[in-house]
Amino acid sequence: MRANSRMRRRLSRIILIGMTGLAATASTGAEISGTRQAALLNLLKQDCGSCHGLTMKGGLGPALTPEALRGKPASMLREVVLRGRPGTPMPPWAPFLSETEAEWLIEVLLKGEINARR
């Protein structure tokens, strides 16, 4: 149990360190460029996928499939993405994503379009 907790903390730190480069590119406007959308999809597949599974069917973190997210308010999902979940390995992504970007990612997940978009 103790080793698992250390591993989760370590993984969270690695992800946060690796993501520091995204902070400078976070969009603040309502429009998200195609280049930024591609970067966000890469983030979703690689960084989120490292905990939630590369197919978003779960792993260290819960599944992020449309079925698993059904019934959960988009506003709650946005807050989890931006603020994280204290006491869990889920880090806050607000330093790297705007609210608009978080909402766009959630829309992609809710529609099950993660692999359909490029």
Q: How many domains does the chain have?
A: 1
- Does some domain include residue 39? yes
Q: What is the pLDDT of residues 9-19, one digit of tens each?
A: 555 555 544 44
The Cα 29–Cα 78 span in angstroms is 16
CATH number of the domain that 23 lies in?
1.10.760.10
The Cα 59–Cα 62 span in angstroms is 6
**Which pTM value belongs to this model?**
0.73
Of the candidates 68, 67, 97, the residue with the CA atom closest to the CA atom of residue 81 = 97
- Name the residue range of residue 7's domain: 2-111
- Does some domain include residue 20? yes
At residue 114, the pLDDT reads 82
At residue 4, the pLDDT reads 60
Decide if pLDDT at 24 tops 90.
no
- Does some domain include residue 57? yes
At residue 12, the pLDDT reads 55
